[in-house]
Amino acid sequence: MNWLIQLPQKYKKFLISLVVSLFIVSAIISIYQLRQIIQLLESPKSSTSWSVVQLQMEHRRFINSLQLYRLGGVKHADLMLRYDILWSRFPVLLEGQENAGFHNIKSARQLVRELFQEVQRIEPLLQALPPSHEKFEQVIERLNMYSSPINTLVNKEFQRNSEFDKKTDFKLLQLQLILSFAIGALLISGSILIVMIVRENHINRYLANHDVLTGLPNRAGLREFIASLENNRRDYAIMVLDLNGFKNINDCYGHEYGDRILNVVAQRLNGQMRHCDYAVRLGGDEFAIVQTRVRSSEDCSGFAQRLINVIEKPMSLEDRECFVGTSIGISTALDSQDDWLTILGQADTAMYQAKQESRCSSWQFFEGQMQLAKEREQHLLSQFRDALENQQMSLFYQPIMDLVNDKVVGAEVQVRWEHPVYGWVEQAELVDVAHACGCVVALESWVLRASTQQLKRWQHGLNTHLQLAVSISSSTLHNDLLVLVNKVLIESRILPHRLIINIIDSNQQMLLDCVDAIRELRRIGVSLSLDNFGSAECPLELLNHLPVQYLRGAKSLMLDLLKSSDKQPMLIATVMFANRLGVKLMVDGVESEQHLEQLKEITKEVMVLGAAVATWAPAEEFSPYLRANANISSE
C-alpha cells in the first residue's frame, strides 16, 4: 500500500470518497438482500397443497364413516364429528389467507364450492333420517362423484407447488448471489478503508514527529527521544547547529535550491550518527544533535569538530558549487539536574555566542554567564519599547577632529540607555535590541530629531561650523528617510551639509534597493558616510553606487594597522585610496595619545574619532569642550 503515500492529495481524497461510497452502497445492498431472503424463507410454500390433501382425506373418511353408519358400525355422534371435521376444511380453502394462490384458480374453487354445497345439504338428512334409510345410498353416490375431481385437483396443486418451489429456489439463488457480491464488495472496501485509515494514522504520526523536507525527526520527535532517554540515563549532550552563509544561498539561488542544501546537510549529519545518537531539524537552517554515552566534554568537542568538517565540504548541485559552515552550541546533562528543554535552550544560547565570536565555523560550550547575558537580553527587549516611548534614552557626543589643523570639525552622536538594573546600555547593543523588537526606525528617528535640535542650539550659541554625524541602519534608509531628513532640517533650521548620515549595518542588497533615495539625500546637500570600510560588510562594489563623502574605517582594522608597524603601509594605501576617490577617511578607535601621534606621523589627511581626542559625554558636558576646541568663526 506504499502507493497510497505517493498519491497526490487530491487523488487520495477522491479514492477515499470512492471507497467510502462503495462501502456504504455495499452495506445497503447487503441489508436489503438479506431481508428479502429472510422474507422468502419465512413464506409458506405448501399450505394450499396441504389444505387440498386434508380435504381429500376428510372427504374419504366421511364417506367411509357414512357407510359404516348405515351398517351400524359407527355411532351418530362419531359420524357428526367426522362431518364437522369435513365441513371445517372448506372455509380454509375458500377463505384462508394462506391459500390466496388457490383463489385465483376458478375451476378448482368452483369444484370445492360445489362439494361444500353438497355437504351442507347432507346435514339435515343426517339429523332427521335413521341409518337404514335408502337416501343415504344416494348421498354416498353423490359424494363419490367428487372423489375423482378431488384427486385430480390434488395432483394439480402438487404440480403447481413444485413449480412455485422451483421459482422460489431460483429467486433465492439470485438473492444469495447478489448478497455474496455485496458482502464481497463490503469486505473489500472495508478492508481498503481500514488499511487507508491505519496508513493515514501512521503517516500523520510520522509527520507529527518528523520534518517533511529532510525526513529527520522534529521537536516532537526530540521530545519523545529525550523522554525515553531521561528515564534511564543523564549521560547525554545536546548540540544546536546553525548554518553559516545559508541565507546568501537562499537569496542568490532561491529557496528550492536552499531546500536541497538542507537535504544534503541532513544526509551528512545522519552519516555521522551512531545508532545511539539522534539528529533533529529544529526549523529553518537549525539542527540539533543528541549525543549519548557522553563521558566528558572532550567527547562532545571531538564530535562537534567532525560535524564541522563534514558540513564544510563543498556541495555541487545543478552545476553549482557552494559552501556552508556551521556554528555549534553544546550543553551537557552531566552533573546537571536541568530538564532537557533547559539544556536545549542552553545549547541554543551557546550557538549564538559561537556565531557572534567567530564568523567561521566554530563550536562553543554553554557557560553560566551566557545565561545571564540571555536573561539580560530578554529583560532589555521587554522594557525597551516603554523606555523609548517615555524618552528615557540619552544622547552622548564625541568630537571629530581633522588632523590637518587639529581642530574639532564635528561631533558624532550616540544613544545610550541608563537601565535601572544593568546601568548604561551602549548604542551597539541598543541597536541590536531595537532590531529584535522592530523599533530601530523609531529609535534612529528620535536620535536624528533630538541631535539636530542640539546642533541647532550649539550653532546659535557658539556660531560654529560644526557637523553632526548620525548613524542610520539600512532599515531606516528603507523607511522614507528622505522625508524624515527634510522634516528635521526644516525643524532645526540647520544647513544640509552640516548633517552627516553614517550608514551602518551595510546590507549590500538593501542599500542597492534604496540607492535612489541615498542619491536624493546627496542632491539636497546632506553628507554621507559609509561605515566599516575595509571589512567584509562593506565591499568595494558599494562605492560604485553610493555617492559618499566619507569612508569610516572599520574600528578593529584601524587599531590593528596602528598597533603593527609592518602594517602601516596598508594604512597609507587606504588613505591614498580614499583621496584618489575624492572622499575623506575617518579613523575610528584611536584610544591613546601614542596611537594619535603615530597616526600623525603616517598621515594627516584623515579625520579622527576616539578617546585620544575626547571621551563620550552628554551635551551639557560636551558644550564646554566645544567652546574650547571647536573651529568657531562667523559664517
DSSP one-letter code for 25: H
Identify the three-state secondary structure at position 244. strand
Mean residue pLDDT of the chain comes to 82
Average pLDDT for 543-552: 83
211 Cβ partners below 8 Å, 6+ apart?
A: 217, 218, 281
What pLDDT was estimated at residue 452? 93
Average pLDDT for 271-287: 90
Cell of residue 296, nine digits = 566528558
612 Cβ partners below 8 Å, 6+ apart?
A: 590, 591, 592, 593, 595, 596
Q: How far is CA 71 from CA 34, 58, 65, in A?
A: 60, 20, 10
What pLDDT was estimated at residue 114? 85
Q: Is the pLDDT of residue 508 over 70?
A: no
* Burial of 344: CB neighbours in 10 Å, binned 0-12, 13-18, 19+: buried
Lowest mean per-residue pLDDT among 86-100, 182-196, 230-244, 400-414? 86-100
10 Cβ partners below 8 Å, 6+ apart?
A: none
What pLDDT was estimated at residue 47? 59
Q: Is the pLDDT of residue 404 over 90?
A: no
Q: Is the pLDDT of residue 519 over 60?
A: yes
Q: How far apart are CA 330 and CA 351, in angstroms?
A: 7
Q: State the alpha helices, DSSP H only, in 145-284.
A: 147-209, 219-230, 246-253, 255-271
Any idea what the Cα angle at residue 30 is, between residues 26 and 33, rounded to 5°?
135
Which of 285, 295, 291, 258 is closest to 272 using CA atoms? 291
Paired residues of 287 in beta bridges = 241, 281
Q: State the alpha helices, DSSP H only, in 412-464.
A: 427-436, 440-462
Cell of residue 422, nine digits = 544593568
Paired residues of 362 in beta bridges = 327
DSSP one-letter code for 533: E
Query: Tens digit of pLDDT for each residue in 135-171?
Result: 888 888 888 888 888 888 878 777 777 666 676 777 7
What pLDDT was estimated at residue 58? 85
> Are the C-beta atoms of residues 308 and 328 closer than 8 Å to each other?
yes
Which of 332, 338, 310, 327 is closest to 364 using CA atoms? 327
Query: What proportion of the chain, given as a percentage, has pLDDT over 90?
Result: 14
* Burial of 261: CB neighbours in 10 Å, binned 0-12, 13-18, 19+: buried
430 Cβ partners below 8 Å, 6+ apart?
A: 384, 393, 415, 416, 417, 443
What pLDDT was estimated at residue 634? 42
* Number of Cβ atoms within 10 Å of the Cβ of 523: 11
Q: State the alpha helices, DSSP H only, in 254-364.
A: 255-271, 297-311, 340-357
Q: How far apart are CA 348 and CA 339, in angstroms?
A: 14
* Number of Cβ atoms within 10 Å of the Cβ of 256: 8
Cell of residue 489, nine digits = 532640517
Lowest mean per-residue pLDDT among 80-89, 110-119, 161-170, 421-430? 161-170
What pLDDT was estimated at residue 103? 60
| Strand ranges in 481-570 using DSSP code E only, listed in sequence order | 499-503, 527-533, 550-553
Q: Is the pLDDT of residue 241 over 90?
A: yes
What pLDDT was estimated at residue 635? 41
Long-range residue pairs from 24-32, CB within 8 A, at least 24 positions apart, any chain: 25/185, 26/182, 26/183, 26/185, 26/186, 26/189, 27/186, 29/178, 29/179, 29/182, 30/179, 30/182, 30/183, 30/186
Residue with cell 397443497: 49
**Distance, CA of 430 to chain centre:** 34
Q: Is the pLDDT of residue 438 over 60?
A: yes
Query: Tens digit of pLDDT for each residue in 46-55?
Result: 456 777 788 8
